[in-house]
Structure 1
Amino acid sequence: MVSSTEERGEFALGWKVLFASVLGVACGASPLPFNVIGFTVEPLIAEFGWTRTQILMPVTIFGIIASLLAPFFGSLADKYGVRKVALYSLFAFGISFAMVALTPTAQVTSTLYIYYALWVLIGLVGIGSTPVSWSRAINLWFYKRRGLALGILLMGTSLAAITVPKLAVWGIENYGWRSMFAIVAILPLAVALPLGYFLFREPRADERPQAIAGVSGNLTGVTLRTAMRDYRFWLIWISIAIVAGSFGGAFINLPTMLADRGLEAQTAASVMGVLGIGIFTGRIITGMLLDRFWAGFVAFPLLCLPAISCYILLGHDIAFPMAALAGFLLGFAAGAESDLIAYLTGRYFGMAHYGKIYGMLYMPFGFFSALSPIIYANVRDTTGSYDPVLSVALFAFFIGGALLMLLGRYPGSLPEAEAAPAGKLAMEAG
């Protein structure tokens, strides 16, 4: 049992870093593209006549590029310290996101490809502003209440889900969809970046929790090569792939699903806000449960909740209360999944090579979250309904959750890493 003094100690030391990290996640490349692109469908159809699949393709391009680069950015954070990686990437993401406003107005063949190219740029520079970076620092500051701290960290995506859809709709209605991208880009550039510059850093060796270091004070953990020989790595990888592939398309296409069922854009934005509340709740509750119970017992029931959302969304007309319930359950499970990736990485594989391993486990999350929206959209374009893909997703959520029941106990000990050069330690602390 963790004493209240011990718990206060971790939060007393790390709260400034945690606060900056929450805003970094909220304003980073993980939530912003996914929270705005669904509201560009109707304006882009009206202006260019593109299909839903073409319009949602950019988030797939972004997600696939970002997921493939996640291990690379993770290794940079391991090698050079997470502060530089997170802050430089946050700046580059904000600039590149604002540049989508430069999409040409004329309907020419090249317009679509220019639009796609801008999203390629977002994918190339943005992944360092996601939890791949921020969660490394939190895992280094917290151990006894790591689950809760990660839950609070990842509340950033729920803050985005609560606020950004309303901002996006307001921007589109008042200034057009192009200006909306520039407006939303203010969040990483003017909010998260200044706070991160002054507050965000990794702990010095004497500030780290003792449990994540060996007798010599170095971080403990297995290498990526060793982790990839472990069956638990692949159970987690496959579970993430299945759940992300089911969730990503439902999340991005939810505004158009609700429009198909007779709800207006502002009402759909309100449902997305409820989804954000679900993510917020899922983060905190999952984090608290992970600090008290084995992850498999926590994960399975929580990852089954979106199956209820899929059932609710099947059919035709839907009233706001049921739409809100579907959004809440979908968001709650999304909060649980993101918590689990960071938590399981640290508990099963340690912190010595956390960035690389987390990057590899983030890869299926980013890849299938990105691929899923165009699958959903293509089903809608082809059949005129989302029901076929929702029916498949309903069962996929159960399977993804059940796989985590096979992980087994956390390892009792992990090998100690070699000492880092003094210069590197100085960079990480600074």
Structure 2
Amino acid sequence: MVSAAAVQSPKGAFATAQEHFAPSAGQEWRAHWTLVLAATVGMSFHSVMSHGLGLFMEPLQAEFAWSRSQISLGLTIAAMLSLPLSPVVGAMVDRWGSRRLALPGVVLSATAIACFATLSGSIAQWLGLWLAYALVAMLLKTTIWSAAVSSTFSTSRGLALAFALSGTAIAQVVVPPLAQFLIANYGWRTAYATLGIGWGGFTFVLLFLFFFDARDRRRLQRPGTTSEVASTGLGFGEAFRTPTLIRIAGATLISCLLNIAILVHQVPILVENGIDRANAAYLASLAGVAGIVGKIVTGWLLDRIDGGWVGGLSLSLPAVGFLLILYPTGTSAAVVLAMILIGYAAGTSLQICAYLTTRYGGMRNFGKIFGVMASLIAVGGGLGPTIAAAVHDAFGNYAPLLLVAIPASIVSGLLIVGLGPYPEWTEKEPAT
């Protein structure tokens, strides 16, 4: 039995007999691939609104004469709510598990998205709907999916997180062309209703059948038993006095602010660069494909190579993409390459943050610790599109934003490099 002081030390490395009997990557995947599938679809549904907003901007502007800043303000509301509430959701995950939050979260979020079809032109109604959506979508935050997968996978945790969090990139692939098709053929109201009820209904079925984290499985196998394996790691307060986790948080905030700003506005950016709207939507989808590949490749590398170096390179890549958009070469290949690089990096930032948080912070308070990280992610993701819209409204283009984004992306990557060796957290014996 490891002492409490030893367990909580982030620098000590401990080997236990349990490590010698850890399942192989293949064993983990054979036993729990359905959990990863359900988490992937759940994450994709959570990302529908952010990746669809760019497609709804022009129709809403045309019908209601709203500015892009007003339209983007909805994401800012969601971000501001996440700042205080994400740690609360993380604490709920630590106490009750992921399933008990995800199932009602999907039902409520699907209903909230469908309600956007009722917009009447009142900006107060628009913001009120975003407020309602942001509240219920808290039950589908990244923490839910990351905690479930991380509690189940150890040997192949990096790759499992990669697939689960690739739901964001899947939404990035599917939502732009799907929303464009629905808006063009049936109108933006039908598009909102279809994305909410259709995507949400499919998500609920998969979660109901397959989404069980480690705590859920223990509860089902041993009904009436309240004791469980106590994961080890940093205390909540201790975590945010640790320079390593502070650096991870700072890098993630910068990366999410920049990448989400560009991704939400990528269709308008491409249209202003002379690309027609339909092709711009498919290029946005291409960035999503790159995001999926980026997650899988990065996940495979994280299980084999120091995460600081992998993360540093990944978070710096958008600088090249931003440069290609800012100074186009006049060839379609340059635009395609830019979308691939930005999509690749955007696809990895959440995954890198979640993985490094489990490795450097442990699982004992992962929900609460990553809840704070999720707050920063949400702030970056919410402020980024609004800042991008404000820049466009002020200057008539996105060039000033891209000029700042290039060096900022490099800084984000440098914060992650050289974090040091992982602590080897052990687990206490189950209570009897």
TM-score with structure 1 length normalisation? Answer: 0.89
In structure 2, the residue matched to 1:35 is: 51
Match of residue 250 from structure 1: 262
The alpha-carbon distance between structure 1 residues 177 and 320, as it changes in their structure 2 partners (threshold 3 A), is farther
- Asked whether the equivalents of residues 222 and 415 of structure 1 are also in contact (C-alpha less than 8 Å), the reply is no
Could you say which residue in structure 2 is the equivalent of 1:353?
A: 365
Alignment of 1:26 onto 2:57? no
Shift of 1:407: 2.0
Provide the rounded CA distance (Å) in 1 between the counterparts of 2:412 and 2:123: 35
The residue that corresponds to 2:97 in the other structure is: 81
- Please point out which of 182, 193, 197 is paired with 2:204: 193
**Deviation sequence 1:224-275 (CA, Å, 0-9, x none):** 1111121112111111111112112111111111111111111111111101
Instruction: Tell me, yes or no, if structure 1 residue 377 matches structure 2 residue 389.
Output: yes
Letter in 2 for 1:9: Q
CA–CA separation in structure 2 for the residues paired with 1:5 and 1:341: 24
**Is the contact between residue 300 and residue 401 of structure 1 (CA under 8 Å) also seen in structure 2?**
yes
SS at match of 1:407: coil
Question: C-alpha displacement at 1:204, in angstroms?
Answer: 5.2
The residue type paired with residue 157 of structure 1 is: T
Q: Distance in 2 between matches of 1:378 and 1:204?
A: 45
Distance 2:22 2:85 in 1: 40
Query: Gapped runs of 5+ residues in structure 1?
Result: 106-110, 209-215, 423-430
Q: Count residues with an aligned counterpart.
A: 406
Work out whether 1:48 is the aligned partner of 2:59.
no
- Going from structure 1 to structure 2, the CA distance change for 1:133 and 1:205 (only over 3 Å counts) comes to closer
Q: Which residue of 1 aligns with 2:86?
A: 70
Which residue does the alignment assign to 1:328?
340
1:16 aligns with 2:34: yes
Contact 1:222 1:414 in 2 (8 A): no
- In structure 1, what is the equivalent of residue 155 of structure 2? 144
Q: Distance in 1 between matches of 2:429 and 2:130?
A: 38
Q: 2:74 aligned with 1:58, yes or no?
A: yes
Kindly state the Cα deviation for residue 342 of structure 1 after the two structures are TM-superposed.
1.1
Shift of 1:311: 0.5
Aligned partner letter, 2:71: I
In 1, distance between residues paired with 2:371 and 2:230? 21
- Call closer, same or farther: CA 1:417–1:373 in 2, change over 3 Å: farther
Candidates 95, 119, 125, aligned match of 2:130: 119
Specify the alignment match of 1:156 in structure 2: 167
C-alpha deviation, 1:180, in angstroms = 1.2
C-alpha spacing 1:94/1:376, structure 2 compared with 1 (3 Å)? same
For residue 351 of structure 1, give the secondary structure of its aligned residue in structure 2.
coil
- Residues 24-423 of structure 1: pairs in structure 2 closer than 5 A: 24-28=42-46, 31-105=47-121, 111-203=122-214, 217-315=229-327, 319-413=331-425, 416=428
User: Are 1:221 and 1:417, in contact at CA under 8 Å, matched by a contact in 2?
Assistant: no
Deviation per CA, 1:348-376: give whole Å up to 9, x if none: 11112111111111111110111011111
Aligned equivalents of 1:366 and 1:268: distance in 2? Answer: 26
Structure 1 segments of 4 or more deviating over 4 A? Answer: 1-5, 204-208, 315-319, 414-419
Paired residues of 1:341 and 1:362 also in contact (CA < 8 A): no
Query: Unpaired segments of 5 or more residues in structure 2?
Result: 1-18, 220-227
CA contact (8 A) 1:38 1:252 kept: yes
Offset of residue 203 of structure 1: 2.1
The aligned amino acid for 1:42 is E
Distance 1:53 1:318 in 2: 29
State TM-score, norm by structure 2: 0.89
Deviation larger for 372-381 or 403-412: 403-412
Change (3 A) 1:94 1:45: same
1:24–1:188 contact (8 Å) kept in structure 2: no
Instruction: Report the AA paired with residue 50 of structure 2.
Output: F
Note if contact 2:149-2:161 (Cα within 8 Å) is conserved in structure 1. yes
State the AA in 1 paired with 2:44.
A
Q: Aligned in 2, Cα 1:171/1:66: closer, same or farther, shift over 3 Å?
A: farther
Please give the per-residue CA displacement for 1:114-149, whole angstroms capped at 9, x wherever unaligned.
111100111111022132101111001101110011
Secondary structure of the structure 2 residue equivalent to 1:221: coil
